[in-house]
Structure 1
Amino acid sequence: MNLLANPLANAMLPASAFTSAWLQQQNDSTTIPGGEAIASLFDPFGFGRAAFGYWRDSMERSVLYLDVMRERGNQYLEHMEQTKPSVLGFDTEVLIDGRTLPRPTNYELLRVLPHEGTEIDLQKRPFVVVDPRAGHGPGIGGFKPDSELGVALKAGHPCYFIGFLPFPEPGQTVEDVVESEVAFLRHVIELHPETTEKPMVVGNCQAGWQIMMAAALEPEVFGPILIAGAPLSYWAGEHGKAPMRYTGGMAGGSWITALTSDIGDGLFDGAWLVQNFERLNPANTYWKKQYHLYDNVDTEAGRYLDFERWWGGHVVLGGEEIQYIVDNLFVGNRLSTAQLVTHDGRRIDLRNVRSPVVVFCSRGDDITPPPQALGWIRDLYENEDDIIAHEQTIVYCQHDTTGHLGIFVSGSVSRKEHTEFTANMDYIDVLPPGLYETSISPAEKGEDAELFERDYLLEFMPRDFAELDRAVMHKPEDDRRFATVARISEINLGLYRLFMQPWIKAVMTPEAARFIRRMHPIRLGYKLLSDRNPLSVPLPVMAEAVRKNRHPVSQDNLFKALETMGSGQLVASLNAMRDLRDSSTEKMFMDVYGQPLLQAAVGLYGDAHVHRRRPGAEPEHRRFIEQRQAELREKIAQGSAHEAVMRSLIYVLGGAPATDERNFKRLRASRAELEPGIKLSDFKSLVRERFFILKLDREQALNSLPTLLAGSSNDDIDGYISHLEHVFAASGDLSEHAAERFVQIKALFDRARPRKPMENKPVASKSAAASNSAATAKSAAKPKAVAAKPRETQAVTPAAAAKEQSVVDEQPSAKEVSSKSATTNESANEAAAKPTSATGRKKTPPKR
């Protein structure tokens, strides 16, 4: 291309336009024959050509970058003018508008319409995603095809979405929103009478603690719950990380929230929350994100604009809502300690949640780190046995690197973690109560290839509180500091409401509040670079010309390499400034709120319990446990062979270090063989009841197995043992401890094997009768001892059956059995109940 003939390019050139154009022509060997040789003559080392190529490329990238910023501004204005702005990537239809409920809210229930070619199975569990309302607009849970909604739709689940509108209803409260979500879930349940499974509910970030509140109040409408990046324990955190937990203390409490709401005439601008997020990582906010677009402007424009459509979609919260959140959650930490009470007197206790709870967090998340996502477990329960006593199943998964948004936005996370959680919700739903950690590993194809439906395998490992503490890293000395912040916040808020709030409310008008929102720095950043700015008029024309004649340089260009190095140095400098700021803030927080004089002034010094004491068990819950235990004791010896198999399965796997989804798949596949027609909900109840029976009285529960198997034939018992081996083999070899338990189970199953009734035979002679009596006394115990020994094969061979039959046929009538032989039989029965090793040596039952 001849640059001298291009007016637009000439307008972009500096004073030495002709010289630069000539150099460009020399750099283009196709313009002038022998141009490369001439350029080499004047520039033997290539520095001039490299400099000009980089200068031209940087100018072109600058034009394209500014044009993308212009498109971002236009997109922002268009998005904010919509009545229901959303970045949801799926078509939907409104089922319930929250504004029509008895207590109106700005939330709504949407049915997600699948893409063409996607088949929905109405027999499957409904899937509901609740979007976070923390400054941004709705839609992030279904932002991409590989999102939480996309994963569920591909799996064939009917999907629903709970979103919201930009402005709250007058007088709307957090409790109103919780009640709206409960009403939405009840409606979803009514829409699916064909399934008995409750909806699986996913809550991201702020929506996570919100649905946990709803599940604590109305547990019967929730199926499994997945909370991703949701903070529930706001005082928890590791020193040197989680800087946001110090924000309330450094601001003097929640009075600043009330001030911001009053300036907004009762509305809180979500742009302030977004600004707080952006300040956490200034390197990414002020340089890295923008430079990444500038450096890759030819390929990154579409992805950047898609994300900015959500990131810049600021919404408004009610002043009463945000004040409730800051006072009771961020500063007060009352949710994780069961101190919240609704307006009608109901206590919000997360121990009331009866659905399995899956907590997904990441070590790379600086907004909701693992201590804040998992600390509520330690706040509420004394130990893992306390979790079991409340019949709760809690599963947590820690990602290593992804950030806060990546937990529910990243396509790689959705394709891996969210896919596994969604596909295994039925398995999680039948897990016995307790605390588990999951790990996701690549599936190894082999003999069990039919059990691998995806590329990854989800494994569950039982955890105790000592292992949980490694993630929570609780420090009791920090509790008094945060309790001091809560007290000071109450004092400052009261002073603000007494002296300042009346004056601000008197002078603030809706028009002034609207103008202040429009002038927010973040909002202005979008508006100033849009078509409403007259200076942006030439940008689309210039960008189009550049795209038609683009001249990018390679990464090995000297000056491009220097640019990359400079960018890296700038990012490192900004990160160092951030680290210095965060460490200084943390040190100041610890020093100020750790002062004994300040703590004494607010009445906390010397208080051993402070503000974060663990809630005790309610009397009605204790009575419930006692009643439940009495019911289970009556059921220990009741049931059928199915109960015996399930009890054995739980007992053996309870001693294993871990289990995975393959066990459940084989058990689910063979469930129809053991008990045709059983529903998943009944199967879940069966598993949990057998688990509690073993937990209540393991010895009696095991000794009752022969009673449960009474009436089963040898072939039936062989089939049950074979079935158990088939399930255990799904996840590999059993551990030594689990194998010992399985040997014990086999011995107990052998005790239930039927014996052929003894026939009454005439006594040939006195000497023959005495001889037979002695032989019988010796042989009567022999079958019992053999029964205690684990079988080498699962099927009884014809030879073994014939031998066993001959021993039985030789036995005399019942009248001829002496008291001595009866005593011998009883001793043999006791020996049969004891586990034996593979060599036949007796062992005592392993202690758990």
Structure 2
Amino acid sequence: MILPMPTPPAAALTMLDPFGFGRAAGRYWRDAFERSVLYMDVMRVRGNQYLEHLEQTKPSVLGFDTDVLMDGRSLPRPVNYELLRIEPPAGVATDPLMRPFVVVDPRAGHGPGIGGFKPDSEIGVALRAGHPCYFIGFLPFPEPGQTVEDVVEAEVAFLRHIGELHADSAEKPMVVGNCQAGWQIMMAASLEPDLFGPILIAGAPLSYWAGERGNAPMRYTGGMSGGSWMTALFSDLGNGQFDGAWLVQNFERLNPANTYWTKQYRLYANVDTEAERYLEFERWWGGHVVLGGEEIQYIVDNLFVGNRLSTAQLVTSDGRRIDLRNVRSPIVVFCSRGDDITPPPQALGWVRDLYAGVDDIIASEQTIVYCVHDTTGHLGIFVSGSVSRKEHTEFTANMDYIDVLPPGLYETTVSSAAERDDAELIERDYLLEFTPRTIEELDSEVQHRPEDDTRFATVARISEINLGLYRLFLQPWLKAMTTPESARWMRRMHPNRLGYRLLSDRNPLMTTVPVLAEQIRANRQPADHDNVFRVMESIVSDQITGSLNAWRDLRDGATERMFLDVYGQPLLQSLVGLGGDAHVHRRRPGSEPEHRRFIDYRQEELRAKIEKGGSHEAVIRALIYVLGGAPATDERNFKRLRASHAELEPALSLADFKQLMREQFFILKLDRDVALASIPVLLEGQNAEQIAGHLEHIQHVLAASGELSEHSADRLASVKALFEQAIDQAPIIEAQSRAEAEEWVGHQAQAQSLAASNVEDLMERVPQAKSEPKPEAAVEAKTESKPEKAVEAKPTARRKPRASRRKTGDNGKA
């Protein structure tokens, strides 16, 4: 047992050490020793936690209770995925009629659960908003023969089951795909677009050759390793399975300062308060899983090296082309400039790969929204509490609005209500705004370089050559020597896995650590933070971090220069068949004949609907026209429009409202001048008071977001003129109807008088009247009923009186 050291009187210490350095040093060294022991105890707990997590059948860091709805191992093509229903925590109620919310977790080396890691997570935000939530996770080991295509089909089956559970809901599920799960969900949505509602892909790479020079080190990995042959090598050494710890190691090497020093020093410096947070994160970071050899080879060959997803070059085993242009749901892309794993060019480059311009996006009836965070890292995109409380909360709260955005490309920003002049008009702490963008504006984020495409295409060709040589010469020998036991020992000896085992209770050398840690906690005496030696320690730590960052920058810069120089050689490019300026290395997929015929058919269909409809079509068309001239719009217009439409037309469902919005947008896009000129035609049959009410409704909706821009104000003035034109026509039509009715009554009265005074003469002049037994009653019935109908039935008032007048004219002649 260690006894506490006696403390001399303060007066004596002052005489012996007038400047206090000795006392500060003594306190610091004791504090440093205690922190070292406590640090090692935390690492011991981390090792035990890792081993316990590893021994679980279904390890997960999900922070919510769940029920298993579907097990992917029971599907016709078995996979190690599961569909879970999230049980809402106490005090939180969900509405089964609301839009289902589905989170798909990334399988990129770590275990499942990161999407619901904390209460302030993607799932936590959706639960508090009342959405029924589901989670698609996975087990540590793949099923034999499992492929990426099998996983995609399993996710389709899960989404179909969720749709059946919520058949009464008017909305399709909102699906969130984090990191690797993002491109997987996009593949599924391109094959079965009708199953998906809005799609949010967070930190998901879809364009793997894209990247800003000096800020995308991972895109050079395939080229510097000679292609994907090393993936096949490690899969063969793993007896057909690829250890996810190798992927985690690649992530850690991106930021050596954080991996080898900053993260550990933060724990050491604040070991009294940081231990719980550190252990919570390490439970997920150290939960390594295994991928099938076929899966990882498909991913590296077709995505990381081949970049075939964003150019519609992938084809399923049954001949279906995976074309992201087939996705019909709104797509929200969330990325960050602080993310070195999936920088914005890799998250957004697929848009310019597929589309030559915004008109192509509109022709495909797609709505693409992107949001670029300034600072957060890769994990912060879907783990950070501040991001969840801000961006994810706004995305979830406004999915109905995003769902009715007209097709096109938009950038969204989240602004604080407190910092705005119109804060009194904003309901929550933040406001989501949407600004239309062009492909040219998107290029400022993507920073595409055609010469880099040639380099990466060269890498893809060399990868195919090296993989073929490996499979011919080395693979048969390795497969013959590898056994399940050797593969298991290879995984256990991986540096990342071994580090957890060595610092656990299974290591006899760690037995004294918990005893010392318990005694220190009982009599802990931390040094003050302003202790001169603690300050010096912090300075040294910053210098170590700076040195490691400088080494990282030097390494990444040298790697980039080597990659550009080696794969930029014209001789090497010619040797692999990529010589000549006319060769297209990254083809933008053209429109298929069927798609062009579909567009022509839709245009003819819309032309026929320009003058069809009523007040709903007129109001929506006017609003889209006015807001289309705004540099930006936000959620407030939609909320007021939806609320007021619910009051004006309760029978109009949200799904019908969305269809109406999209249809009127396309009509305006097809022929704006004719569409606007047809607004008075759509308002025919409405009286002046009703039309004025519709105009007031439009102004009420537009006022929700404050003062209109000058361009939008001019458009609103044009809309007012059209509605006022309809108002002016309404009383004229009514007066004409009334005058025609009165004229008709006059003619009928004259005919009745003539018949009463000289019936016989009338019958001689009009022989057909003899067949009428009671002419006076018949005429009297007409004079009493038809004028009233003509006045009341306003939609047909113009036609019926004219028909009646022709009849009375005949009688008059008689």
**Is the TM-score greater than 0.5?**
yes
Q: What is the aligned counterpart of 2:348 among 369, 374, 398?
A: 374
Q: Distance in 2 between matches of 1:228 and 1:755?
A: 56
Are the counterparts in 2 of residues 442 and 455 from structure 1 also a CA contact under 8 Å?
yes
1:679 matches 2:653:
yes
Alignment partner of 1:336: what SS?
A: coil
1:166 matches 2:136:
no
Q: What is the aligned counterpart of 1:299 among 255, 273, 277?
A: 273
Q: Distance in 2 between matches of 1:439 and 1:682?
A: 28
Q: What is the identity, as a one-letter code, of the residue corresponding to 1:672?
A: A
Indicate the residue corresponding to 1:142 in structure 2. 116
Are the counterparts in 2 of residues 448 and 730 from structure 1 also a CA contact under 8 Å?
no
Indicate the residue corresponding to 2:631 in structure 1. 657
TM-score when normalising by structure 2? 0.89
Indicate the residue corresponding to 2:731 in structure 1. 755
Q: Distance in 2 between matches of 1:297 and 1:434?
A: 50
Please show how residues 744-783 of structure 1 align to structure 2 within 5 Å. 744-753=718-727, 754-756=730-732, 757-758=735-736, 759=739
Listed one character per residue, the Cα deviations across residues 432-457 of structure 1 (whole Å, up to 9, x for unaligned) are 00000001011259998786442100
Indicate the residue corresponding to 1:98 in structure 2. 72
Alignment partner of 1:25: what SS?
A: coil
CA distance 1:446–1:267, shift in 2 (3 Å): closer
Indicate the residue corresponding to 1:395 in structure 2. 369
Alignment partner of 2:66: what SS?
A: strand
Q: What is the identity, as a one-letter code, of the residue corresponding to 1:178?
A: V
1:239 matches 2:204:
no
Task: Please provide the CA RMSD for this pair.
Answer: 1.6
1:8 matches 2:20:
no
Indicate the residue corresponding to 2:555 in structure 1. 581
Are the counterparts in 1 of residues 121 and 385 from structure 2 also a CA contact under 8 Å?
yes
Question: Which has the higher mean CA deviation after the structures are superposed, 36-45 or 669-678?
Answer: 669-678
Are the counterparts in 2 of residues 479 and 610 from structure 1 also a CA contact under 8 Å?
no
Are the counterparts in 1 of residues 417 and 423 from structure 2 also a CA contact under 8 Å?
no
Indicate the residue corresponding to 1:78 in structure 2. 52
Q: What is the aligned counterpart of 1:458 among 388, 413, 432?
A: 432
Listed one character per residue, the Cα deviations across residues 637-662 of structure 1 (whole Å, up to 9, x for unaligned) are 00010100000000000001110000
Indicate the residue corresponding to 2:37 in structure 1. 63
Question: Which has the higher mean CA deviation after the structures are superposed, 442-451 or 133-142?
Answer: 442-451
Q: Distance in 2 between matches of 1:610 and 1:143?
A: 44
Q: Distance in 2 between matches of 1:604 and 1:353?
A: 32
Please show how residues 632-711 of structure 1 align to structure 2 within 5 Å. 632-711=606-685
Listed one character per residue, the Cα deviations across residues 70-115 of structure 1 (whole Å, up to 9, x for unaligned) are 0000000000000000000000000000000000000000000000
Q: Distance in 2 between matches of 1:444 and 1:713?
A: 44
Q: Distance in 2 between matches of 1:310 and 1:602?
A: 42
Indicate the residue corresponding to 2:390 in structure 1. 416
Q: Distance in 1 between matches of 2:567 and 2:452?
A: 9
Q: Distance in 2 between matches of 1:50 and 1:445?
A: 45
Q: What is the identity, as a one-letter code, of the residue corresponding to 1:483?
A: A
1:562 matches 2:536:
yes
Alignment partner of 2:333: what SS?
A: strand
Are the counterparts in 1 of residues 305 and 460 from structure 2 also a CA contact under 8 Å?
yes
Q: What is the identity, as a one-letter code, of the residue corresponding to 1:720?
A: H
Q: Distance in 2 between matches of 1:723 and 1:65?
A: 65
Q: Distance in 1 between matches of 2:289 and 2:427?
A: 41
Q: What is the aligned counterpart of 2:412 among 427, 438, 441?
A: 438
Indicate the residue corresponding to 2:224 in structure 1. 250
Q: Distance in 2 between matches of 1:479 and 1:535?
A: 53
1:263 matches 2:237:
yes
Q: Distance in 1 between matches of 2:91 and 2:122?
A: 18
Indicate the residue corresponding to 1:738 in structure 2. 712
Indicate the residue corresponding to 2:320 in structure 1. 346
CA distance 1:262–1:9, shift in 2 (3 Å): farther
Alignment partner of 2:160: what SS?
A: helix
Q: Distance in 1 between matches of 2:669 and 2:423?
A: 34
Alignment partner of 2:414: what SS?
A: strand
CA distance 1:87–1:443, shift in 2 (3 Å): same
How far 1:418 moved relative to its partner?
A: 0.3
Q: What is the aligned counterpart of 1:619 among 584, 587, 593?
A: 593
1:321 matches 2:301:
no
Q: What is the identity, as a one-letter code, of the residue corresponding to 1:396?
A: Y
How far 1:611 moved relative to its partner?
A: 2.7
Q: Distance in 1 between matches of 2:144 and 2:54?
A: 20
1:544 matches 2:526:
no
Q: Distance in 2 between matches of 1:447 and 1:396?
A: 25
Q: What is the identity, as a one-letter code, of the residue corresponding to 2:704?
A: A
Q: Distance in 2 between matches of 1:310 and 1:611?
A: 39
Q: Distance in 2 between matches of 1:595 and 1:446?
A: 53
TM-score when normalising by structure 1? 0.86
Please show how residues 477-516 of structure 1 align to structure 2 within 5 Å. 477-516=451-490
Q: Distance in 2 between matches of 1:60 and 1:380?
A: 59
Of all paired residues, the percent bearing the same amino acid is 75
Alignment partner of 2:370: what SS?
A: strand
Are the counterparts in 1 of residues 646 and 652 from structure 2 also a CA contact under 8 Å?
yes
Alignment partner of 2:348: what SS?
A: helix
Are the counterparts in 2 of residues 242 and 366 from structure 1 also a CA contact under 8 Å?
yes
Indicate the residue corresponding to 2:752 in structure 1. none
Indicate the residue corresponding to 1:470 in structure 2. 444
Indicate the residue corresponding to 2:160 in structure 1. 186
Q: Distance in 1 between matches of 2:583 and 2:404?
A: 37
Q: Distance in 1 between matches of 2:161 and 2:424?
A: 37
Listed one character per residue, the Cα deviations across residues 762-811 of structure 1 (whole Å, up to 9, x for unaligned) are 9xxxxxxxxxxxxxxxxxxxxxxxxxxxxxxxxxxxxxxxxxxxxxxxxx
How far 1:467 moved relative to its partner?
A: 1.0
How far 1:734 moved relative to its partner?
A: 0.8
How far 1:194 moved relative to its partner?
A: 1.4
Are the counterparts in 2 of residues 481 and 594 from structure 1 also a CA contact under 8 Å?
yes
How far 1:718 moved relative to its partner?
A: 1.3
Indicate the residue corresponding to 1:151 in structure 2. 125
Q: Distance in 1 between matches of 2:27 and 2:419?
A: 51
Listed one character per residue, the Cα deviations across residues 23-76 of structure 1 (whole Å, up to 9, x for unaligned) are x512xxxxxxxx111100111110100000000000000010000000000000
Q: Distance in 2 between matches of 1:421 and 1:450?
A: 21
Alignment partner of 1:119: what SS?
A: coil
Question: Which has the higher mean CA deviation after the structures are superposed, 239-248 or 547-556?
Answer: 547-556
Are the counterparts in 2 of residues 642 and 674 from structure 1 also a CA contact under 8 Å?
no
CA distance 1:271–1:445, shift in 2 (3 Å): closer
Are the counterparts in 1 of residues 97 and 170 from structure 2 also a CA contact under 8 Å?
no
Question: Which has the higher mean CA deviation after the structures are superposed, 724-733 or 89-98?
Answer: 724-733
Are the counterparts in 2 of residues 642 and 675 from structure 1 also a CA contact under 8 Å?
no
Are the counterparts in 1 of residues 422 and 706 from structure 2 also a CA contact under 8 Å?
no
Listed one character per residue, the Cα deviations across residues 102-155 of structure 1 (whole Å, up to 9, x for unaligned) are 000000000000001101111110000000000000000000000000000000
Q: Distance in 2 between matches of 1:434 and 1:251?
A: 39
CA distance 1:9–1:484, shift in 2 (3 Å): farther
Are the counterparts in 2 of residues 483 and 610 from structure 1 also a CA contact under 8 Å?
no
Indicate the residue corresponding to 1:606 in structure 2. 580
Are the counterparts in 2 of residues 445 and 452 from structure 1 also a CA contact under 8 Å?
no
How far 1:673 moved relative to its partner?
A: 2.8
How far 1:685 moved relative to its partner?
A: 0.5
Q: What is the aligned counterpart of 1:714 among 682, 688, 704?
A: 688
Alignment partner of 1:359: what SS?
A: strand
Listed one character per residue, the Cα deviations across residues 246-304 of structure 1 (whole Å, up to 9, x for unaligned) are 00000000000000000000000000000000000000000000000000000000000
Q: Distance in 2 between matches of 1:657 and 1:106?
A: 47
Are the counterparts in 1 of residues 202 and 334 from structure 2 also a CA contact under 8 Å?
yes
